[in-house]
Chains A and B, each alone.
Chain A
Amino acid sequence: MSHRRAGAEATAAKGWLRAQCWLLARRLCQLAILALFLLGPLAAVWVVKGNLAYSLTLDTLPLTDPYVLLQSVLAGHLPEKSALIGALIVIIFYILVGGRVYCAWVCPLNLVTDLAGWLRYRLGIKGSVHVARSSRYGVLMMTLLLAALTGTLVWELVNPVSMLQRGLIFGLGAAWTVVLAVFLFDLFVMSRGWCGHLCPVGAFYSVLGKWSPLRISASKRAACNDCMDCFEVCPEPQVIRPALKGAGKGVGPVILAANCTNCGRCIDVCSKDVFTFGLRFNNPPGNGVQTATRHATSGN
């Protein structure tokens, strides 16, 4: 790579650990969840039973994937109480912390697509098929419609997300081919293709977290030096601009877009500490407006 790597400036300014801490925390979380699921089958310590579709923690706490359950309901089946309670808990959790926290902090396929994204960046692979990021909502509607029309969980026959997680716990079989396909697709065909454009699971969770209070905020956006590192590392870079550059337009600093995954990587790579985790209510449009108006005035 000829140009400097994203995050190099932050590493120099804040030290390696502080420039990686959210990424490390996220990987730890993803792996810890997987480890909890694997503890049963591998070490016969049954903290968690089941998989992400439905799990029972310590034989008491039910957690259900509301997306799978919704498909099942649309297919015409009314679930038992435990599945409904589990779905309710999960829905409330993601409404609070942000729906796509599932994608960044829980989903095991994120490890695969992040690797593809990182490799794509490091190898300097250019060129990407253009598909609108909103396509995922089309795919989401299609999966729900198919469930309703066929009366079976059609999407779950091919869903790479559930296939990978279930496969790791219950036996992978040929599911690795599907995972490899997603990896290669992201690497060579479409930048951030699966998670950022097509995955209906992420689309579903983004709807859940549309109004979530926990958000990333560009609270010190006045300090932004336009290094673009946050755009480089962000899996959904379109969500940053309105918040980071909205001071002149009277837009507050909180990233309100539902597709922000709350991964916190922008916090890591920013040498000026522009981003922080915060609440959506703490969103004064006047934040950083002084510098912005000065720029605007000089522009005129």
Chain B
Amino acid sequence: MFPEKNHARRVPSRAENAPALARRQFVFDSARLLCGVGVLGLCLAGYARKALAKPPMAIRPPGAGPEEDFLGACIRCGMCVRDCPYDILELARPESLVATGTPYFTARSGPCEMCEDIPCVRACPTGALDHHLTDINKSRMGLAVLSDQETCLNFLGLRCDVCYRVCPVIDKAITLELRPNTRTGRHSMFLPTVHSEHCTGCGKCEKACVTDEASIRVLPPRLVKGSLGEHYRLGWEEKTRAGGHSLVEDKGIIDLPDRLPEGTTLEGHFDPGSSGLPERIPGRGPVLPSLPPGLGGADTAAGSPAQSPGGALGRRLSREAAR
């Protein structure tokens, strides 16, 4: 097995061993390189995760896709910055939370002026700003949110309306919704309401907001937008879509049991979901079915208020239960 045992002390010379040594060296060098580069790569990948953390100030120029796609498509050349006639765009510096070198704008200091020819998009050589965007009103740079109802002047009952007035998509992206002012009891409040379907995220509302810190802000949509879930059907919309016919047969409506505190009985209250319909509550007037107006029950209640022995409370409770 060891033919050279007699010469055990003989060590193979360097020259004889050269290929083996070279092989060893190569393996170690490769391992060193692989480990070094691997560690560097891991650090970088970790750092890149931070850049993908979607900072709220990363409001991109028009036509930018979702942040993950944008960070793979933008080569940080700054052509969009140069071709913006209003000079609002900036390339992120390393100390910024926005990915280094990528373009963004700060709505509070300089919002997008929504040029009709969209020069920033046309300047983009890679299509990170999508060249298919030709109508600036279809851009989605961000989404305005009335983030502080406590400081919004309109929510305080005043008529500021500035965000509504400056909105380039006025009456679509921001509408004023009328609500009674319950504080004064005699005025209306005009609540600025953003509609994500039309808001381009240009940031003019944030720029124009008169409060010291903007009460309405533009944020990346992904930080703001909720999602209803596919299983929801909005009855009133389905009804319009079906040409005015409700999808639920009026008569066959299912009434679930009303939940009341255990052992409570309400005078004149009847809940068809819990039991069958009695003719009359013994010794009392006619029953008040817990069905909403127009579905049979309320007609009885509304139609014969005088007969209702439950009085005002009973009527209100029955209406509430119907909701």
Contacts and interface: CB of A to CB of B under 8 A. Distances in A.
Interface of A: 40, 46, 49-51, 53-56, 62, 64-65, 68-69, 72, 75-80, 82-83, 86, 131-132, 134-135, 138-139, 141-142, 145-147, 149-158, 162-163, 166-167, 169-175, 177-178
B98 to A, nearest CB: 11
B70 to A, nearest CB: 9
A129 to B, nearest CB: 11
B131 A50 contact: no
Contacts of B166: none
B280 interface: no
Contact of B95 (A68, A72, A169, A174): A174
Contact of A138 (B37, B52, B78, B127): B37
A86 B51 contact: no
Specify which of B34, B45, B75 lies most central, judged by the most chain A CB atoms within 10 Å of its CB. B75
Given A138-B33, A157-B51, A178-B94, A51 B126 contact: no
B78 A156 contact: no
Contacts of B125: 54, 56, 62, 64, 79-80, 82-83, 86
Contacts of B68: 151-152
Given A54-B79, A72-B126, A158-B44, A77 B72 contact: yes
Interface in B31-74: 33-34, 36-38, 40-41, 44-45, 47-48, 51-52, 68-69, 71-74
Interface residues of B, number: 43
B75 A80 contact: no
A150 B41 CA distance: 11
A138 B95 contact: no
B291 interface: no
Nearest to B51: A157
B101 A152 contact: no
B157 to A, nearest CB: 44
A146 B42 CA distance: 9
Contacts of B96: 173
B72 A54 contact: no
B134 to A, nearest CB: 15
